[in-house]
């Protein structure tokens, strides 16, 4: 299996290298869909030159990257293109191995349940054979590397690619069961863009599951492990933030950078999708990461409805972004509402597309009764809602509907976030 992966990597790197050499690279790196003020390469360069001049990069309102990124590129600025190609390749490799491992886990569980004869007879078609699962990791890597959105972000040298790499490594280490590394990568990802904070809960749940620790309030092991994981996470976060402080010897970067169960892996996927939908300054690079996960849930495609309409929405929107942007900024004949409307439409299409298995199954009667499907349905949306916001809101609540225990921890980030903002010292 290594040969096809290597082939995909070679193709992906060739495409990127060719695009870096073409005149398109400059055009792409200016597109609003691909880079945001938070992830623009231009601003990294600006920050670097400010640093070289001995000015704090955060003194103006231009630079919003984290100190570690700026120091990383301080040494690697000449190899920036190479760095971005490598990060993309690393993301794909991490996803590949993560999914390979995850498949093994799923298969073992399935086998166990089959032997115990706990499946209802009509779910046979949902049980996955090793043949079907064999190519899923490769497909995931393929989906990530050859997705036009990923290629665009890479060619634009959007630092979003680095965030994706960190998140991918977090997923890999979590699935491999290494709590320490998982905490470090989660801390790094949180440090980069704050939003991965919400991945703490699914990560913790998966690690608990791996060690057969039940999620019970009374269980001692549960609290001990949670405490350990939280400490590792907070510890790494503190180390990283302090490191940044010592690099710049000021706390300027914090306001500048952060101004703004049962199936933990699935929860993680939905969480990444929700982050991509609701984050401020979203770019197509964020969408690319969770799109890579589609093959993992491909056995649930049969529950998808309106897939044709949704795929068309995504494609049409991707094409209309530049057209309406042109009309607004360049031709001056349309205004910002045109562009805004298309971003809304894109977000309506997104959750419907992203939640591959979030559709209520047509045959509720046959599927929801048995266990396998009930588990997969736990994240399914009420099928009647079609509007983006409503869908996503329902997605959040429905995700945890069947596992009330997960509801509570998922509120913690929200509460933390609120507290942070309420008691944050006013900046002048």
State the residues that interact with another protein by CB under 8 A: 121-122, 124-125, 305-306, 308-309, 312, 315-316, 319-320, 323-324, 326-327, 330-334, 360, 362, 383-387
Backbone angles phi, psi at 203, to 5 degrees: -60, -45
Non-local CB neighbours of 46 within 8 Å, separated by 6+ positions: 57, 62, 63
Kindly tell me which of 330 and 421 has the beta carbon lying closer to another protein.
330
Kindly tell me which of 306 and 403 has the beta carbon lying closer to another protein.
306
Residue 161: CB minimum distance to another protein, A: 27
What H or E segment, with its residue span, contains residue 239? helix 220-248
> What span, in angstroms and rounded, lies between the C-alpha atoms of 33 and 84?
18
Torsion angle of alpha carbons 387, 390, 392, 397, nearest 10°?
-150
Residue 53: CB minimum distance to another protein, A: 26
> What span, in angstroms and rounded, lies between the C-alpha atoms of 34 and 268?
24
DSSP letters for 287-351: HHHHHTTGGGGGGGGGG--SHHHHHHHHHHHHHHHHHHHIIIIII-SS-HHHHHHHHHHHHHHHH
Residue 334: CB minimum distance to another protein, A: 7
Structure tokens at 234: 């907070």
Residue 323: CB minimum distance to another protein, A: 5
Kindly tell me which of 272 and 304 has the beta carbon lying closer to another protein.
304
State the residue for tokens 């190519």: 135
Kindly tell me which of 32 and 334 has the beta carbon lying closer to another protein.
334
Kindly tell me which of 82 and 124 has the beta carbon lying closer to another protein.
124
Residue 291: CB minimum distance to another protein, A: 17
Residue 120: CB minimum distance to another protein, A: 9
Q: Dihedral sign, CA of 184, 189, 193, 199?
A: negative
CB 353 within 8 A of CB 309: no
State the residue for tokens 């998922």: 410
Kindly tell me which of 231 and 323 has the beta carbon lying closer to another protein.
323
């Amino acid at each position: 299996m290594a040969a096809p992966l290597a082939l995909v990597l070679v193709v992906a790197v060739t495409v990127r290298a060719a695009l870096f050499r073409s005149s398109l690279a400059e055009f792409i790196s200016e597109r609003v869909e691909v880079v945001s003020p938070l992830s623009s390469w231009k601003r990294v360069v600006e920050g670097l030159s400010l640093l070289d001049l001995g000015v704090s990069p955060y003194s103006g309102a231009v630079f919003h990257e984290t100190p570690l990124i700026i120091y990383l590129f301080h040494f690697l600025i000449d190899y920036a293109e190479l760095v971005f190609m490598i990060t993309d390749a690393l993301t794909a490799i991490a996803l590949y191995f993560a999914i390979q491992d995850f498949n093994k886990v799923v298969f073992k569980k399935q086998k166990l349940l089959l032997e115990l004869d706990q499946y209802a007879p009509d779910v046979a078609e949902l049980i996955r054979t090793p043949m079907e699962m064999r190519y899923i990791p490769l497909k995931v890597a393929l989906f990530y590397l050859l997705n036009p959105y990923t290629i665009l972000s890479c060619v634009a040298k959007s630092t979003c690619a680095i965030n994706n790499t960190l998140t991918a490594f977090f997923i890999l280490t979590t699935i491999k069961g290494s709590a320490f590394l998982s905490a470090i990568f989660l801390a790094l990802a949180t440090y980069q863009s704050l939003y991965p904070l919400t991945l703490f809960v699914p990560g913790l749940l998966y690690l608990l599951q791996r060690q057969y620790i039940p999620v019970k309030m009374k269980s001692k092991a549960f609290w001990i492990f949670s405490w350990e994981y939280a400490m590792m996470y907070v510890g790494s976060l503190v180390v990283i933030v302090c490191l940044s402080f010592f690099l710049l010897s000021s706390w300027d970067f914090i306001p500048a950078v952060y101004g703004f169960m049962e199936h933990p892996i699935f929860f993680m996927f939905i969480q990444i999708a929700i982050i991509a939908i609701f984050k401020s300054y979203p770019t197509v690079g964020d969408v690319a990461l969770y799109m890579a996960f589609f093959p993992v849930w491909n056995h649930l495609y049969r529950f998808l409805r309106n897939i044709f309409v949704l795929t068309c929405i995504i494609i049409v929107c991707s094409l209309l972004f530049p057209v309406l942007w042109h009309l607004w900024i360049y031709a001056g004949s349309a205004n910002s509402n045109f562009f805004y409307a298309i971003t809304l439409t894109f977000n309506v299409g997104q959750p419907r597309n992203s939640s591959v298995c979030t559709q209520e199954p047509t045959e509720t009667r046959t599927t929801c009764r048995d266990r396998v499907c009930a588990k997969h349905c736990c994240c399914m949306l009420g099928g009647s809602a079609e509007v983006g916001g409503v869908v996503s809101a329902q997605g959040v609540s429905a995700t945890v509907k069947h596992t009330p225990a997960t509801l509570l921890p998922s509120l913690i980030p929200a509460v933390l976030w609120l507290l942070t903002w309420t008691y944050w010292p006013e900046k002048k």
